[in-house]
Copies of this chain bind each other. A is one copy, B any other.
């Protein structure tokens, strides 16, 4: 189970350019090449890439993903540090959740307000 960049990109629903950019930024450190220098993504690479995509949707900075990669290279002794990075991001995610909850209340209010204006406006403009 190994894939060229186009297949990998399709699997994670990103442009190939972005995958190359991620590799360049140190997020994909173990990507092998075929005899022509083309990238080959194996199952492991894809799993990591999927986690990247999933966490990027919650706006984890590339720098934090890169930091995890660097720590991974240093071996098992860095597991606690890697965990810490993720815990910190999880806190941010929880804050976002709260921000969303607050915004839902406010946006519903405002939508209701616009509804009222709309109703009034139509009532006032009835011809008979």
**Nearest residue, chain B, Cβ from A114:** B83
The reply to whether the CB of A79 lies closer than 8 angstroms to some CB of chain B is yes
CB distance A51 to B106 under 8 Å?
yes
**Nearest residue, chain B, Cβ from A80:** B118
**Cα of A116 to Cα of B97 in the assembled complex, Å:** 28
- Chain B residues positioned under 8 Å from A107 (CB to CB): 55, 86, 89-90, 93
Copies, count: 2
- Chain B residues positioned under 8 Å from A77 (CB to CB): 121
Interface size of A by Cβ–Cβ distance < 8 Å? 34
**A-B CB contact pairs (8 Å), 29 listed:** A54-B103, A54-B106, A55-B106, A58-B99, A58-B103, A76-B117, A76-B118, A76-B120, A77-B121, A79-B115, A79-B117, A79-B118, A79-B121, A80-B118, A82-B114, A83-B111, A83-B114, A83-B115, A86-B107, A86-B110, A86-B111, A90-B104, A93-B100, A93-B103, A93-B107, A96-B100, A97-B97, A97-B100, A100-B100
CB-based closest 4 A-B pairs: A79-B117, A83-B114, A57-B99, A79-B118
